[in-house]
Structure 1
Amino acid sequence: MDIGGAGLTCSRVHAVAHGQARVTISGTDRARAAWAAAQRLTGVVYGRGTGVGANKGVPVEQGGRALLRSHACGAGPLVEPERARAMLVVRLNQLLAGGSGVDPGVLPVLAQAINDGFTPPVHSYGAIGTGDLTALATTGLCLLGELDWHHHPTTGTSPPVPAHGTTSPPRYALGDGDALPFISSGAATLGDAALACHRLRLLLEAAVDGAARSFTAVDASAEPLAAAVQEARPHPGQAVVAARLRALLPRGPSPRVQDPYGYRAFAQVHGAAMDALDRAETVIETDLNSASENPLIAGSLAWHNGNFHAAPVALALDTLRAALVQVAQLSTARLATLMNPEFTGLLPFLADRPGGSGALILEYVAQDALAELRHLATPVTTGTAVISLGAEDHAGFATQAARHALRCVEPLEVVLACEHTAAARALHGPKPDTPLTTDLETARQALHGR
């Protein structure tokens, strides 16, 4: 996969992160131009001849390594290798977009790390949506040889192992002037966001197939999905979802005039979620391919700016996580109808005999997962932070928004799997000799592997 500062998508980040693609560098002209311009800069340039944060006015000489050592201080468990690899490919692409002034000699070394299975030991906590300083400072120290890379010779190796004894761990002697430009990025946050959006898109698309099974199992009306209904209220996601679901359903009248909202409002709710996902991907992919550097080296000047602030990402992901809750709520509503003989014509709870519990427990499982989604949907954009003696007086917490979006994948998958399991049972009958947990796990695996 060519990485050249443009064209990086959430799905491409996911492919590289999970070892499904190797990277090659296609074009370093912009990175080299920014580096050459940085060598010619005169006057005060933040982070190159000064301290950082509240120390922005303090002259500093040869402070690059000290900056990396002071900032490589995350906490909590290490992130999974896929997340660390996603961060590396995002930062590589950003550097190739130009504007950082970082020595371009580091670019093939980052590509080597990605392709050879090396990841920095990045801890979970240490960023607030204004740059992933701890994660990238840790990466810088790995490049310098002061911290050990972790090595994953096989995709998904767990737990990670320190890279002692492995051949040629990635090394590059970052200069003092490279330290701040290298770490001035939200690459880890964007990596998490990209991974989340890719997985959530697969689940939301699979949810339409699952809803079609539920529609069929209870003989729900397709009338709310009609093209005339969508044209009367032309939201793009709603129209696409309705058309896709309409194509999956059998023709013919329904015995009911008005179905519950889980069916009647499916296109409206699910379409809104798809619109929110489209918006989130647009925002994230804009930043994946941007030179969000501070200072930005453009032309012959250093432009001090706030492009590092990830407010657009946080806002988009807050909206997306709220939309996922509504998707899951309607899925649990359809699950409830599948347990109800008034809708299915079968025994209560899809039991195989009178008085049996059947698939009742799926409602407990789904509601547990839904509660987790509600918790994860709490907006991060209502909070802020004032740090560094007041020099940094706002934070968007996009890091937390991305982390929570990634955590939403599992509970959403569980909710949808419960509906899929119940719909299959309603359509094809129960399997008396098969534990219900087997059917649920099969449904989860199908969703996970989609």
Structure 2
Amino acid sequence: MTPPPVESTPLSFGDTRLRIEDVVAIARRQRGAALSSDADFRARITRGTEFLDRLLREDGVVYGVTTGYGDSCTVVIPPDLLTELPHHLFTYHGCGLGRFLDADETRAVLAARLASLSVGMSGVSLPLLEGLVALLQHDILPLIPAEGSVGASGDLTPLSYVAAVLCGEREVMHGGVRRPAAEALAEAGLAPLRLRPKEGLAIMNGTAVMTALACLAYDRADYLCRLATRLTAYNVIASAGNAHHFDEVLFAAKPHPGQTRVAARLREDLHSDRPPRNEQRLQDRYSLRCAPHVIGVLEDALPFLRQLIETELNSANDNPLVDPDRDQILHGGHFYGGHIAFAMDAMKNAVANLADLLDRQLALLVDTRFNHGLPSNLSGVTGPRAAINHGLKALQISVSAWTAEALKQTMPASVFSRSTECHNQDKVSMGTIAARDCLRVIELTEQVVAAMLIAARQGVTLRQRATPETRIEGAPVEMLADLSARIALVEEDRALDHDLRQLLGDVRAQRWSLYES
């Protein structure tokens, strides 16, 4: 069974603005979910449904309630079929394919949709919001295919699986078992919903999938940014590089804040003193010397990307919106995921550059022409047996493969808009594709990082063997000791896939605390 959340105080939807960290905590079952008990919040939600009911009685026409959807908005739905319309919406959108979102991703989707609907402009009822909360509380996770969304009108097809599960249809993962939704709901004592007018549209016509994936991507990218910095410090040490490339005065002359932070972290790791008047060892190659300029792009982008993601997360992003206080139905295009698409396209570019940077650093470390006295391929074997041992030769090839694939994925998804749905959706964001691409780039970069952790452990140890006076202090010492305890030095050739998978798990679990700021 899935373990219960470790945080005793659940996140109350409707009470406060969510941060990326809130979604990540819910996704990882580190925090539970609840619906606000605030009277004003609940009254606002109720006013929305009451206004819709009154509008139906008085006007008789509301898009997506008494009409068909999208290009079919001119089709009038007979009154005796109105209650069936939301059911038909999620039914005919049941055409997703590809892998299913994993458990963390699915919880994040539920949290993102709850955040949006809790704004109070979607015309949904309290029972619907409570139903979404119940899915999180009981960890009943809709099986959501990852593919099939063009990112406007929102994530229609993947979110149809959320709507269907609330109504007791399709399948879920519950307790690690794939089973019918109706069965899991019944076991948890939950009754299937009968969706009210507009509720099918409200659940599905929004950006929750791309936004949820963006929250998870941000968390992983932020950690990779820090880990790439620590690895660069190790690689400077291993290659007997010039630590003065990261001088404070030097970086004050080009003061991008993130780039400056990366340089400061490298100075902290390397304990570099003020440089001499003129260097004997002048300039390292760009992959070391320009590391703050590469890593710093992501470091500088993260605050802006956070703004885009969190604004989307806390927005009402379906259509139409309901303003019960002014008695208005507002027709617009807030389902368009352009900001998330841009954020994910930008993030995957910056993260892929981390992979490329580390790949180049490894290429220098394994090559005796550039590694300043280390063994070929960082082999730990000496004597006659050195001839048949190849150290990290194959690992460097794998790193190049993973890096190339990450770089290939950086083509912006947002520029591939396709006119769809009888040209009603004639400009779409492709935000969900961008988010999936970004997660793939992050996954590949994490694989590069796992390999670089082996290389760092190997390279620094061999440098200390060759140059006993090599100086390492502070946090890098602790992390290196942890790596050395977990990963044996590569002396006689051995398969490294087990080590790589262990380190990949460590990276994704964010095992090492890296820098305070």
Please report the TM-score for the alignment, with normalisation by the length of structure 2: 0.81
Q: 2:375 aligns with which of 347, 363, 383?
A: 347
Contact 2:151–2:432 (Cα < 8 Å) also in 1: yes
2:473 aligned partner? none
Specify the code of the residue in structure 2 equivalent to 1:398. Answer: G
SS in 1 for 2:422: helix
- Supply the distance in 2 between the matched residues of 1:176 and 1:160 (Cα, whole angstroms): 30
Q: Residue 73 and residue 434 in structure 1: after superposition, are their counterparts in 2 closer, same or farther (change >3 A)? A: same
Shift of 1:25: 1.7
Q: Is the 8 A contact 2:151 2:429 kept in 1?
A: yes
For residue 223 of structure 1, what is the amino acid of its counterpart? Answer: H
Please state whether the residue corresponding to 1:23 is helix, strand or coil: strand
Tell whether 2:468 aligns with 1:435. Answer: no
When residues 224 and 432 of structure 1 are mapped into structure 2, their CA distance, relative to the original with a 3 A threshold, is: closer
1:433 Cα deviation after fit: 5.3
Cα distance in structure 2, aligned partners of 1:67 and 1:148: 14
Pair 1:389 & 2:417 matched: no
Cα deviations by residue, 1:104-124 (Å, 9 ceiling, x for unpaired): 221122111111111122222
- Does residue 195 (structure 1) correspond to residue 216 (structure 2)? The answer is yes
After superposition, the C-alpha distances for 1:227-283 in whole angstroms (9 at most, x for unaligned) are 222221121210111111211113356752101111111111101012233322221
Aligned to 1:151: 173
Q: 1:193 and 1:129 mapped to 2: Cα distance?
A: 13
| Residues matched between the structures, number | 445
Select which of 53, 62, 68 maps to 1:45.
62
Indicate the residue corresponding to 2:156 in structure 1: 133
* Aligned equivalent of 1:36: 50
With over 3 angstroms needed to count, the CA separation of the structure-2 counterparts of 1:79 and 1:446, relative to structure 1, is closer
- CA distance in structure 1 between the partners assigned to 2:105 and 2:432 by the alignment: 13
How many angstroms apart in 1 are the aligned matches of 2:206 and 2:233?
A: 43
Could you tell me which residue of structure 1 aligns to residue 105 of structure 2? 83
Letter in 2 for 1:69: T
SS in structure 2 opposite 1:381? helix
Report the counterpart of residue 239 of structure 1 in structure 2.
260
Code of the residue aligned with 2:505 in structure 1: it is Q
Q: Is the 8 A contact 2:450 2:500 kept in 1?
A: yes
Matched, 1:104 2:126: yes
Any conservation in 1 of the 2:155–2:206 contact (CA below 8 Å)? yes
After superposition, the Cα gap between the structure-2 partners of 1:255 and 1:24, relative to the gap in structure 1 and judged at 3 Å, is: farther
Structure 2 Cα separation of the partners of residues 259 and 143 of structure 1: 59
Deviation at 1:176, TM superposition (A): 3.2
Aligned to 1:162: 180
Do residues 361 (structure 1) and 382 (structure 2) align? no
Give the counterpart letter for 2:378 in structure 1.
L
The one-letter code of the counterpart of 1:46 is Y
CA positional deviation for 1:213:
0.9
Higher relative contact order, structure no. (Cα contacts within 8 Å, ≥ 6 residues apart):
1
307-316 or 73-82: bigger deviation: 73-82
Per the TM alignment, residue 432 of structure 1 is displaced from its structure 2 partner at its CA by 2.3
* 1:102 partner SS: coil
Q: Are the structure 2 counterparts of residues 419 and 170 from structure 1 closer, same or farther at C-alpha, using a change threshold of 3 Å? A: farther
Structure 2 Cα separation of the partners of residues 439 and 346 of structure 1: 22
CA distance in 2, matches of 1:399, 1:382: 13
For 1:160 and 1:224, locate their aligned partners in 2 and report how far apart those are by CA, in whole Å: 54
Residues 143 and 173, structure 2, Cα contact 8 Å, conserved in 1: no
Distance across 1 between alignment mates of 2:399 and 2:280: 28
The alpha-carbon deviation at position 421 of structure 1 amounts to 1.2
Q: Which runs of 4+ in 1 moved over 4 A?
A: 252-255
Which structure 2 residues correspond to residues 47-446 of structure 1 after superposition, within 5 A? Answer: 47-60=64-77, 61=79, 62=82, 63-130=85-152, 131-145=154-168, 147-153=169-175, 157=176, 160-163=178-181, 164=183, 166-169=187-190, 171-251=192-272, 256-298=281-323, 299=325, 300-341=327-368, 342-351=370-379, 352-353=381-382, 354-355=386-387, 356-429=389-462, 430-432=489-491, 435=494, 437=496, 438-446=498-506
Identity of aligned residues (%): 29
For structure 2, which runs of at least 5 residues remain unmatched after alignment?
1-9, 463-488, 511-517
Amino acid at match of 2:49: W
- Find the residue that maps to 2:415 and give its secondary structure: coil
Contact 2:117 2:202 (C-alpha < 8 Å) held by counterparts: no
Tell me how far apart the structure 1 counterparts of residues 249 and 51 of structure 2 sit (CA, whole Å). Answer: 58
Change (3 A) 1:441 1:278: same
Please give the alpha-carbon distance, in whole angstroms, between the structure 1 residues aligned to 2:45 and 2:195.
Answer: 15
Give the TM-score normalised by structure 1: 0.93
2-side partners of 1:126 and 1:92: how far apart? Answer: 21
Structure 1 portions without partners, runs of 5+: none
RMSD: 2.1
CA distance in 2, matches of 1:421, 1:427: 10
- Summarize deviations over 1:78-106 as a string: whole Å, max 9, x none: 22222222111111111111110011221
> What is the rounded CA distance, in whole Å, between the counterparts of 2:139 and 2:99 in structure 1?
19
Taking the aligned partners of 2:12 and 2:104, their CA distance within structure 1 comes to 18
User: What is the identity, as a one-letter code, of the residue corresponding to 1:389?
Assistant: C
Q: Distance in 2 between matches of 1:246 and 1:102?
A: 53
Q: Is the 8 A contact 1:118 1:151 kept in 2?
A: yes
Partner of 2:32: 22
- The answer (yes or no) to whether the contact 1:81–1:160 under 8 Å persists in 2 is no
Cα separation, 2, equivalents of 1:386 and 1:243: 48
Contact 2:364 2:371 in 1 (8 A): yes
* Local SS of the residue matching 2:414: coil
- Which deviations, in whole Å up to 9, do the C-alpha atoms of 1:23-48 show, x marking residues without a partner? 12224334333333333335442212
**Higher-Rg member (1/2):** 2
1:57 to 1:148, Cα distance in 2 relative to 1, 3 A: closer
